Structure 1
Amino acid sequence: MSDPIAGADGRDFLPPACQTACPVGTDVPSYAAFVWEGRFDQAIEAITATNPFSAICGRVCDAPCECACRRGAADGAVAIRGLKRFVLDRLGASYRLPPVPVTRSETIGIVGAGPAGLTAAHDLACAGFRVDVYEATDRPGGMMVWGIPRFRLPEGVIAQDIDRLLAHCPGITLHANQALGRDFTLAELKSRHDAVLLAIGLSKGKPLGIPGDGLPGVVDGVSLLARVNRGERPQLPSSVVVVGGGDVAMDAARTARRMPGVESVRIVYRRTLDELPARGDEVKSALAEGIEFVCQVQPVAVAAEGEGGLTLHCVKTEPGEREGDGRRRPQPVPGSEHALSAGLVIAAVGQEAHNAELAGLRLLNGGRVTADASSLRTADPKVLAAGDGAFGGSSIVEAMHQGHKAAYTIGAMLDGCADPAPYRTPYRNRRVAVAQAPAWESTPRQEPAFCGLGADPSAFTQVDATFDEDTARREASRCFRCDAETGSANTSLRAREGVMAMAHTPAGDAAAQSMLLRRRLGAARPVPRQDVSATLDDLVFLPANLTRLVIDPYREQCGTAIHLGGAVALGTPFVVSGFDDAPENLRTALGRALAEAGSAYLGRQALGEAPWLQIVGADDTPEPAASLWIFTQTDRAAAAKGNGRPVGLLASADTLNDTIEAAVECAADLVLIDAAGASVDPRAELTHPPAINLLKDAVDHLLRRRRLGAIDLVFHGGVRTGSDGAKLIALAASAVALGVAAHIAAGTRLEDANPFADSAEPADASAAAVASLIRALTAEASMMARCCGKTKLHNLEPEDLRALSVPASVATGVPLPGRGVTGDVTATAGAPVVGNAGGIAAELRI
Structure 2
Amino acid sequence: MMTACKPFSLDLAADQSGLPHYQPPPCQVACPIGTDVGSYVGLIWDGDAAGALEAITATNPFSGVCSRVCDAPCESACRRSQADGAVTIRALKRSVMEALGPGYRLPPVQPTQSQTIAIVGAGPAGLTAAQDLALAGYPVALYEAQDRAGGAAAWGIPDFRLPPAVVAEDVNRVLERCSGITVHLSTPLGAGGVSLEALRRDHAAVLLALGANVGRPLGVPGDTLPQVVDGLSFLKRINGGERPTLPAHVVVIGGGDVAMDACRAAQRLPGVKKVTVLYRRSLDEMPARLHERHAALAEGIEIVTQVAPTAVQPIPGADDRVALSCVRTALGAPGPDGRRGFQAIPESEFTLDVGLVIAAVGQKTAVEELERHGLLAQGRILADPQTLATPLPGVFAAGDAASGSSTLVRAMEQGHRAAYYVLAALNGETHPQPYRTPYRTRQAPLAQDPRWEKLGREEPRFLGQGADPWGETEANYDTETAKAQAARCYRCDTETGSTDYSVKLRETLFALARPDTTAETRRALTLARLDARPTPARPGRPTFDDLVFLPANLTRLVIDPYREACKTTTPLAAGLSLAHPLLVGGFDTAPDGVRAALAQSLADSGTAYVGRAALPGVPWVQLVGANGIADPAAALAIALPRPGTPPAPPALARPDQPWGLLATRATLGAAVAVAVDRGAACLVLDGSEALPADGADLAGPPDIGLLPEAIRLLRARKAEELVPIVWFGGLRSGSDLAKALALGATAGMVAAAAGFALGGVLDRTGLVFPEAAPSAAALSLFLQAAVSEGSMMARCTGKTNIHNLEPEDLRTLTLAAQSATGIVMAGVKKAG
Distance (Å, rounded) in 2 between the aligned partners of 1:432 and 1:47: 13
Other-structure match for 1:396: 408
Other-structure match for 1:320: 332
CA contact (8 A) 2:15 2:439 kept: no
Q: 1:93 aligns with which of 89, 102, 126?
A: 102
Answer yes or no: is 1:419 the counterpart of 2:399: no
CA contact (8 A) 1:488 1:540 kept: no
* CA spacing shift, 1:97–1:322, aligned 2, 3 Å: closer
Q: Identity percentage over the alignment?
A: 53
Distance (Å, rounded) in 1 between the aligned partners of 2:223 and 2:427: 50
Deviation of 1:323 (Å): 2.3
| One-letter code aligned to 1:332 | A
Answer yes or no: is 1:195 the counterpart of 2:205: yes
Other-structure match for 1:461: 471
CA contact (8 A) 2:25 2:553 kept: no
Answer yes or no: is 1:447 the counterpart of 2:459: yes
Distance (Å, rounded) in 2 between the aligned partners of 1:404 and 1:40: 26
TM alignment of 1:638-717, pairs within 5 A:
none
Give deviations 1:232-273, integer Å, cap 9, x for gaps: 110001110000111101100010011111111100011111
Give deviations 1:435-478, integer Å, cap 9, x for gaps: 11100001000211100111342xx0101011111000001010
Answer yes or no: is 1:271 the counterpart of 2:281: yes
Distance (Å, rounded) in 1 between the aligned partners of 2:111 and 2:480: 43
| One-letter code aligned to 2:52 | A
* CA spacing shift, 1:3–1:100, aligned 2, 3 Å: closer
Answer yes or no: is 1:49 the counterpart of 2:63: no
Distance (Å, rounded) in 2 between the aligned partners of 1:83 and 1:118: 24
Other-structure match for 2:448: 436
TM alignment of 1:387-786, pairs within 5 A:
387-457=399-469, 460-486=470-496, 490-491=500-501, 522=532, 544-545=555-556
Other-structure match for 2:791: 811
DSSP-derived class of the 2:331 partner: strand
Q: 1:150 aligns with which of 136, 154, 159?
A: 159
DSSP-derived class of the 2:245 partner: coil
Other-structure match for 2:189: 180
Other-structure match for 1:348: 360
Deviation of 1:327 (Å): 2.5
Deviation of 1:308 (Å): 1.0
* CA spacing shift, 1:105–1:2, aligned 2, 3 Å: closer
DSSP-derived class of the 1:307 partner: strand
* CA spacing shift, 1:807–1:407, aligned 2, 3 Å: farther
* CA spacing shift, 1:820–1:298, aligned 2, 3 Å: closer
Other-structure match for 2:90: 81
DSSP-derived class of the 1:303 partner: strand
Distance (Å, rounded) in 2 between the aligned partners of 1:350 and 1:334: 26
DSSP-derived class of the 1:163 partner: helix
Distance (Å, rounded) in 2 between the aligned partners of 1:428 and 1:20: 11
CA contact (8 A) 1:65 1:80 kept: yes
| One-letter code aligned to 1:272 | S
Deviation of 1:74 (Å): 0.2
Distance (Å, rounded) in 2 between the aligned partners of 1:339 and 1:14: 55
CA contact (8 A) 1:4 1:431 kept: no
CA contact (8 A) 2:222 2:312 kept: yes
* CA spacing shift, 1:174–1:71, aligned 2, 3 Å: same
* CA spacing shift, 1:112–1:540, aligned 2, 3 Å: closer
Give deviations 1:687-721, integer Å, cap 9, x for gaps: xxxxxxxxxxxxxxxxxxxxxxxxxxxxxxxxxxx
DSSP-derived class of the 1:83 partner: helix
Other-structure match for 1:262: 272
Q: 1:251 aligns with which of 261, 264, 267?
A: 261
| One-letter code aligned to 2:56 | I
Deviation of 1:321 (Å): 4.1
Distance (Å, rounded) in 2 between the aligned partners of 1:274 and 1:348: 18
TM alignment of 1:94-113, pairs within 5 A:
94-113=103-122
TM-score (ref. length: structure 1): 0.60
DSSP-derived class of the 1:362 partner: coil
Answer yes or no: is 1:331 the counterpart of 2:311: no
Other-structure match for 1:632: none
Deviation of 1:539 (Å): 14
CA contact (8 A) 1:241 1:265 kept: yes
Deviation of 1:815 (Å): 5.1
CA contact (8 A) 2:285 2:340 kept: no
Give deviations 1:259-299, integer Å, cap 9, x for gaps: 11111110001111111011111111111111111111111
Other-structure match for 1:303: 313
Other-structure match for 1:662: none
DSSP-derived class of the 2:424 partner: helix
Q: 1:19 aligns with which of 24, 28, 35?
A: 28
Distance (Å, rounded) in 2 between the aligned partners of 1:188 and 1:291: 48
Structure of higher CA gyration radius: 1
Deviation of 1:824 (Å): 8.4
Other-structure match for 1:770: none
CA contact (8 A) 1:134 1:179 kept: yes
Deviation of 1:73 (Å): 0.2
Query: Which consecutive unaligned segments of at least 5 residues does structure 2 have?
Result: 1-12, 504-528, 559-603, 608-784, 805-832
Answer yes or no: is 1:376 the counterpart of 2:356: no
DSSP-derived class of the 1:150 partner: coil
* CA spacing shift, 1:204–1:3, aligned 2, 3 Å: closer
* CA spacing shift, 1:404–1:136, aligned 2, 3 Å: same
Deviation of 1:307 (Å): 3.3
| One-letter code aligned to 2:180 | G
* CA spacing shift, 1:226–1:390, aligned 2, 3 Å: same
* CA spacing shift, 1:128–1:268, aligned 2, 3 Å: same
CA contact (8 A) 2:794 2:802 kept: no
Distance (Å, rounded) in 2 between the aligned partners of 1:2 and 1:375: 20
Other-structure match for 2:142: 133
Number of residues of Structure 1 aligned to a counterpart in Structure 2: 536
DSSP-derived class of the 2:97 partner: helix
CA contact (8 A) 2:200 2:394 kept: yes
* CA spacing shift, 1:99–1:486, aligned 2, 3 Å: closer
* CA spacing shift, 1:542–1:137, aligned 2, 3 Å: closer
TM-score (ref. length: structure 2): 0.61
Distance (Å, rounded) in 2 between the aligned partners of 1:187 and 1:439: 62
| One-letter code aligned to 1:545 | R
Deviation of 1:531 (Å): 8.3
Deviation of 1:809 (Å): 6.6
Distance (Å, rounded) in 1 between the aligned partners of 2:231 and 2:76: 27
Answer yes or no: is 1:117 the counterpart of 2:126: yes
CA contact (8 A) 1:2 1:431 kept: no
| One-letter code aligned to 1:149 | P
* CA spacing shift, 1:484–1:283, aligned 2, 3 Å: same
CA contact (8 A) 2:85 2:457 kept: yes
* CA spacing shift, 1:288–1:541, aligned 2, 3 Å: closer
DSSP-derived class of the 1:197 partner: strand
* CA spacing shift, 1:71–1:523, aligned 2, 3 Å: farther
DSSP-derived class of the 1:120 partner: helix
Distance (Å, rounded) in 1 between the aligned partners of 2:786 and 2:442: 27
CA contact (8 A) 2:492 2:555 kept: no
Deviation of 1:490 (Å): 3.4
DSSP-derived class of the 2:341 partner: strand
Distance (Å, rounded) in 2 between the aligned partners of 1:219 and 1:21: 35
* CA spacing shift, 1:432–1:542, aligned 2, 3 Å: same
Structure 1 segments, 4+ long, off by >3 Å, are: 1-7, 486-493, 519-527, 529-532, 538-544, 652-655, 805-810, 812-816, 819-826
Distance (Å, rounded) in 1 between the aligned partners of 2:800 and 2:431: 31
| One-letter code aligned to 1:399 | A
Answer yes or no: is 1:239 the counterpart of 2:249: yes
Answer yes or no: is 1:34 the counterpart of 2:25: no
Distance (Å, rounded) in 2 between the aligned partners of 1:376 and 1:541: 31
Other-structure match for 1:553: none
